[in-house]
Each structure stands twice: as structure tokens, then as C-alpha cells.
Amino acid sequence: MQSELSTYTDGDRDVLASHYAAIIKDADDAIIANDLNGVITSWNSAAEQIYGYTAEEIMGRSVFVLFPPDKLNEEASILYDISNGKKLKHYYTTRLHKNGELLNISLTLSPIIDTDGKIVGISKIARKLCDTSNQAWLADNLTQHTDYYAAIIESSEDAIISKSLDGIVITWNNAAERIFGYSANEMIGKPITTVFPENKYEEEEMILRKISNGERFKHFRTQRITKGQKTIDVSVTISPIKDEDGKVVGVSKIARDVTELVLRDSMATKLAIRSNHFSAIVESSDDAIVSKTLDGVVTSWNSAAESIFGYTAEEMIGEHMTKIFPIDRLQEEEEILEKIKNGNKVNHFQTVRLHKDGHEVHLSVTISPVVNNDGKIIGASKIARDITEKIKSERKLWQLANNDNLTDLPNRRLFMKRIESEVLKASSENDKFTVMYMDLNGFKQVNDSYGHAVGDQLLIQVSSRLLSCFRQSDTLARLGGDEFAALLPGLSKQEDVLNMHNKIQAVILTPFEINNYKIQISVSIGIATFPDNGESVEALLHCADTRMYYEKSTIKEYAYLKK
């Protein structure tokens, strides 16, 4: 590979020498060169501004003077890559200012190739990140290093261009050709607006006007268009080129293709917006949205979770999820986490958790695996909806449909369901059970003498006394009026049934006290045993009902009413 200057006449070389020297001298980016031993051989004014050393102080010294101790190993790697003809684009690292300040630097590094195609050094274009200060200084005898400067410019990964104050291109390096697609022959002598989109033409007039007044543009973000009509994003540093008398005679540009960077920034912005949107959804949700590790430790806790469970995020994050589990539900967490670890989802799981104040909260929960970018399951997310009121409402409706309004005992409808179920169970297990029908004797006289309010209180007390006679596994129901029925699973021995009959008679014969009245009544009981007295629900109930009325006909109804 040869330097571009080798193809020019001596006259052309002198013109280019002036432009190259001016470009390097007046650039806002540090343009530095060092040989393959790390000795600094070129240092422009921007390097002085960025690093604090003058050319006289730094030329001939090792480039390591600019390296923090923890970065000393970088140069060996850089020298190795450069010696093999590689280039490093937009390399982010840190360097030291003369005063010891740590600098954040963006570097583009390229091999310096002489006219024989031999790699003789490294060219570096350094940009201080977030830096806005650069001052120019005049370098002595730059023209005598024309070939060297040309090699630096031609080896750069950034487009380094010069143009007249009319906007006509004067120089165009290899990187400009690569970035914009036009060769030097195609662009030199042409207006720079050749690479401007139509909607950016006005920029050139503004740029030339300010440059003519000695102003600079530092890291100016804009768009340009390639030979192939592709729009690219560029970061441009634009400086005036001055002659020996300080007169502005042209313009130098260092342009960096930042299309990918802009795309990444755009994607990052979109992701941030999306993340903020999701965060807003989570925080505004009426459902508790919670995440946890695969060990069950809480990692996020939204506002609705605070409202539903009473614990703040600070109180729950880092705590185990079982903090809100009732003791009898602790096994659920192990089962849930096992499903999540296997990649399964738990949908609309109804369960119970505890509020901070101790009351139970009924929930409908959906739990999903949380997967990282590598597809690995790293946790679980949970959306929990408080359905306590819904459960209460459903229970209330069920109670209204299945329980007696006055005594809260099961009603005829629920009793029939349970006896039907018991018939099926006993039939399959070859088991027996007993049914009792009960009717109060003397209840009509109570109602007639003291009114329905007293009658209702009597029914409530009768229900309580009857319940005390039965086992927890038995069902006592109020069928209507003063009629009651009982289902006694597994009870079939005549002796046991008789004992139960006598026990019921005794508790009902004990006088009741209501509104200062002492009321005494009795009860008639009909008993039927499955399958001895019937193998179907209808047959069994008919038998019990018939026997109850037979007993009732043999007992004289009475009601002692004493004040």
C-alpha cells in the first residue's frame, strides 16, 4: 500500500502538505503518532489541550506516560494488532492528563505505512468523552513531515476532509472513501454538498459562515448520504484552516460514522420507554405483581401488593414468600417452585394468603417462569388478584341456596344432595347409615299463643339442642316449619340408633325459656336404615316419614306454657 502523496507531482505535494499540516494542527481531536517502540513522534494542539503536555514536553517520550497503571498492558496488545495491519475503531479506554486527572477517551488506531508499504508506527485519533475544550497552537516545521502526516491521515478510520471556503473538496482520505463511497478522484474539486441529503443543504451555508468567522463545530451530529444513496449518521468536528498570517483559508473535517451508535441509542431509548411503560403498568395495576427467586425470595413488590397484603416493598423484598403463607398452605410454595423450575406455568390458582394484620386474603394467582436472555429460568413472576369479596359473595349465595335462613342449618335442598351422595357411597362400600325424620309436638300452640317471634326463637333453640346430640360427621337439616331431619353415616346398630333416639327426646323435653315464658314441647322421630329399610333415596325417606307420623299418632301433643 502506498501513500496517496506518491501519486502526486511535487507541486501537488506542496499543496497537500499545507492542507494536511493545517488539518492536523487545527483539529479538535488529538492526532498522535508513535513508532512501534511506543515513542511519540507527532503531537497536535488538540493533544496538548486534552493531555496537558506541549509538543516540546512529549515528543520523543514513551507513550506510556499517558497510561494509568492499570492500562499499561493495553499498548502491547495494540502494538501486536497494529503490527499485523489491524485497525481499532472507537476503542474506549482511560488515559492520564499531565496533572494526574483520569481521562475517558475514545480512540481510533491505525497502522502508519510508509511509501514502501511497511508499517512504521501507529496513528491515533483521540477524542475526550464529554470534553468541549480545545485550543490551537502552531506546530514548527510541519511541512517537512508531509509524507508522515499523509500516512497518518490516510491510515485513519475517521474521514478526514478539507475544503475551500466555497465548500469545494480539496482532500479526501481513504476513510472518507470507505464511509461515503466516493473515491478521492470523484470528490476532489466537487462541492461537499454532494454527500448532503437535500434537507441538510442549509447546514453547509451555516457551517461555512461560522468557519469563516473562525468558529468551530465540536462533535456535531448530523446525517449525510453515501454514493449508494444510503443515509448515515455522522459525528463531525469542523475547524477553520488558517494560513501563516492567521487568515481562514479553508475548512477541515473529521467525520465519524456513528450510524450503529445512533441505532443503539435509539434502541436504548425505546427500551427505556418500554421499560418505563411496563413499570407504569405494574405500579398502576390493581393486581399484586410480584417476582421472586427460585428459592422463593421476593425480588419485586408493587403498590397493589402493598395494598392487598399490608406489607411495604421494603418489608418484603429480600424476605421469603412464605412470610404471607398460612401454616396449612406452606407446602404449596414448594410445589409451585418445582413447577416453575420445570418451565411450567400455574394458571388461576385459587388459594389463601395472610395479610400483615393476620386476616386471610383469598387470591386467584397466575405464576410464570422468569427467563433470562440465555433462556435460563432464573425466577418466577406472580400476578395475584384479591378475590376475598368474590368468595364471600359466592359463599353467601351458596348459603342462601343451601341453608335455612332462620336456623342456618342445611335446608331440604342440601339435605337431599347429601343423602343422595351417601346412598352412592354406602352402596359402593357395602356400608350402612341411618336417616331420622323429626317433627315437634306442640309447636303450633306456641305460635298461636305467643306469636311467630317466640316460635322462631323456639326453633333456633331447638336447632342448637339437636346439634348437641349429633356427631361432627352427621348432617342435621331443617326441612321447613317444625320439621327436621338427620343423616347419620355409619350408624346402623339398633342399640346405637335407640340411644340416639332417646337422647334427642330428652333434650327436647327439657323446658325452654323464651321471653320469661317456660315452654315445654316434645318431638316425634321416624327412623330408617339403609339398605334394610330401603335401597333408594325415595324408599328410605318414605319409610322414615311414615314411622315419624306413626309415632306422632301414638303421642298426645302437649305444650305446657308457664309464665
pLDDT at 426 (0 to 100): 93
Q: What is the mean pLDDT of residues 22-44?
A: 83
- 80 has pLDDT over 90: no
Tens-place pLDDT, residues 235-294? 888 888 887 778 888 888 888 888 887 777 766 666 555 555 555 656 667 788 999 999
User: Among 136, 106, 130, which Cα is nearest to 215's?
Assistant: 136
| Residues 23, 45 contacting (CB under 8 angstroms) | no
What counts of helices (H) and strands (E) characterise the chain? 17, 22
pLDDT at 344 (0 to 100): 92
How many CB atoms lie under 10 A from the CB of residue 295?
9
- 187 has pLDDT over 60: yes
Q: What is the mean pLDDT of residues 203-228?
A: 88
C-alpha grid cell, residue 50: 486534552
| Residues 536, 424 contacting (CB under 8 angstroms) | no
Tens-place pLDDT, residues 280-333? 656 667 788 999 999 999 999 999 899 999 999 999 999 999 999 999 999 999
Which residues, other chains included, contact 396 with Cβ-Cβ below 8 Å and sequence gap of 6+? none
pTM of structure? 0.42
Task: Check residue 422 and report its DSSP letter.
Answer: H
Q: Give CA–CA dist 527/120, Å, rounded.
A: 115
Q: Give CA–CA dist 288/69, Å, rounded.
A: 51
Q: Give CA–CA dist 233/356, Å, rounded.
A: 56
Residue 402: pLDDT band (50, 70, 90) is confident
Q: Distance from first CA to last CA of the chain, Å, rounded? A: 127
Residue 102's DSSP bridge partners are: 96
| Residues 179, 184, 190, 192, Cα dihedral to 10° | 30
Q: Give CA–CA dist 481/491, Å, rounded.
A: 27
The Cα-based distances of 429 to 90, 98, 392, 426, 433 in angstroms read 83, 96, 36, 5, 12
In this structure, which amino acid lies at residue 40?
I
Tens-place pLDDT, residues 497-552? 999 999 999 999 999 999 888 999 999 999 999 999 999 999 999 999 999 999 88
In this structure, which amino acid lies at residue 404?
D
